[in-house]
Amino acid sequence: MEIGHFIDGKRVAGGSGRFADVFNPATGEVQARVALASAAEVDRAVQGASAAQPAWAATNPQRRARVLMEFVRLLNRDMDRLAEALSREHGKTLPDARGDIQRGLEVAEFCIGAPHLLKGEFTDNAGPGIDMYSMRQPVGVAAGITPFNFPAMIPMWKFCPAIACGNAFILKPSERDPSVPIMLAELMIEAGLPAGVLQVVNGDKEAVDAILDHPGIAAVGFVGSTPIAQYVYARGCAAGKRVQCFGGAKNHMIVMPDADMDQAADALVGAGYGAAGERCMAVSVAVPVGDSTADALIERLIPRIEKLKVGPYTAGEDVDYGPLVTRAAMERVKGLITRGVEEGAKLLVDGRGFTLQGYEKGFFVGPTLFDHVRPDMTIYREEIFGPVLSTVRARNYEEALALAMDHEYGNGVAIFTRDGDAARDFANRVNIGMVGINVPIPVPLAYHTFGGWKKSAFGDLNQHGPDAFRFYTRTKTVTARWPSGIRSGSEFVIPTMQ
């Protein structure tokens, strides 16, 4: 099977002659190849988007919102079909794939409120006979570059608000799992979106660079690893675009001595190993406070980890997690586990040797647990993005807080405690963008905003929620005065409205 692009309302074949393999991660087989766009193909997509955008911007916001309303209905109608396509390329379980779609769908639902969210501000009588008002106008053509780990949710986080605001949108999804983004674009057309308003261009660095350099694109949103986020931010800003980039993570979960240990252990297993750890909000570091907390936690973690069911998405709804996305990802994670052992961490559960009968070529890694990890170790400093949980023992609360704060990433963090005072202090002081209190994966809902701090995000606005409507619009402020004052002649002093 060959996957091309989606331009001007229909699927088109790639013309560059360059392709990338798309795997079924459970079997290791190549199941498709995806076209990698050239700069000329990106340009063609931008031309189509630029042509479609003015009429779309002129469509009243309520009508634009109705397209999203219908899109939500179609997503629900096609949920199982989309989830199956998603799991087949990504490897995550079917319930998790449905969650991926659902979390994008909720952003589409939020964007149905565009008529309200796009209202400007108005000052009546700002001066004698003067009214002042601001409008939120679309930026024009925006683009989104998205990662492999949420091939439905993150594209929707980007294109739903951009399109609701009256922009046209160029989506460059991950080349690892490109099927679902094109299916989403088809559903948008079925929902009534005019052709050209949403273009999907598959590709790699060449397509990304073409987007960053293209003068017809006004804003770029990126989600992926931190080195690429920094690169996209620098190059996009240098080209004069509005850019927001969301990067990698190393999320800590602090377990206080007074926490419910069974609840904390359950939370850690779900947040550490769900989706094989391929989530930017996965918990990858457990920080028990005090040795007795650490011992009590580990004692509960090990039997839970040993019971985890790892397998292909086809093995049933009770599979806990599936394979990693590629062989390279699997080898990298196994290599980091070996590095952890070499650097002196204590390996309590080793997932390197995991195999599954009938799926020997799949990209599986078993759940892995380390204890006595230190901050100078590679497995602590780097984002592993696999089913590996590291335990760093802290002597007290201040040490645990400092550990999370000193890490270069600042996406998510959690504290498990029964002490409201400690929880409040933690939420106030920690320098991390999303905080969970007895919640291991604190991903904000669609009507709040999502974004990390430190090296987890570049740019000054978050994703979805009200910030998305700020990112995808420009403010224009009009000062209007009607005749009577104008008749008095020229004014040479800057108006002060007194």
Q: Which of 23, 110, 148, 397 binds ligand NAD (CB under 6 A)?
A: 148
Q: Please tell me whether residue 245 adopts helix, strand or coil conformation.
A: strand
Nearest distance, CB of residue 158 and ligand NAD, angstroms: 11
**What is d(CA 64, CA 414) in angstroms, rounded to the nearest whole number?**
38
Binding segment (CB under 6 A) for ligand NAD, from list 14-22, 78-86, 92-100, 139-147: 139-147
- d(CA 100, CA 153) in angstroms, rounded, equals 5
d(CA 37, CA 21): 14
- By the rule CB under 6 A, 284 interacts with ligand NAD: no
User: Is 37 a residue that touches ligand NAD (CB under 6 A)?
Assistant: no
Q: Does the footprint of ligand NAD cover residue 456 (CB under 6 A)?
A: yes
Nearest residue to the partner ligand NAD, using Cβ: 224
The residue within the footprint of ligand NAD, chosen from 105, 165, 200, 228 (CB under 6 A), is 228
The candidate with the shortest Cα–Cα distance to 26, out of 84, 99, 95, 74, is: 84
Say whether 237 is catalytic.
no
Written as one letter, the residue type at 341 is V
Count of Cβ atoms closer than 10 Å to residue 286 Cβ: 30
Site residues for ligand NAD, 230-259, by CB under 6 A, read 246-249
- The one segment of 91-99, 172-180, 269-277, 371-379 that binds ligand NAD by CB under 6 A: 172-180
Q: Provide the greatest CA pair distance for the chain.
A: 90
Query: Does 208 contact ligand NAD by CB under 6 A?
Result: yes
Q: Which of 111, 160, 165, 280 is catalytic?
A: 280
Q: Which of residues 149-168 bind ligand NAD (CB under 6 A)?
A: 149-150
CA proximity to 356, closest of 77, 91, 15: 91
d(CA 72, CA 410): 32
The residue from 385, 416, 426, 469 that contacts ligand NAD (CB under 6 A) is 385
Number of H helices, E strands in the chain: 16, 23
- Cα→Cα distances 430→87, 129, 353, 484, Å: 35, 49, 38, 56
The residues pairing with 32 across neighbouring beta strands, listed in sequence order, are: 22
**280 contacts ligand NAD (rule: CB under 6 A):** yes
Say how far apart CA 340 and CA 32 lie, in whole Å.
Answer: 35
Which member of 93, 146, 244, 417 binds ligand NAD (CB under 6 A)?
146
CB of 295 to ligand NAD, least distance (A): 31
Binding residue (CB under 6 A) for ligand NAD from 99, 104, 147, 410: 147
Contacting positions for ligand NAD (CB under 6 A): 145-150, 172, 174-175, 204-205, 208, 223-225, 228, 246-249, 280, 383, 385, 411, 452, 456
The residues carrying an active-site annotation are 280
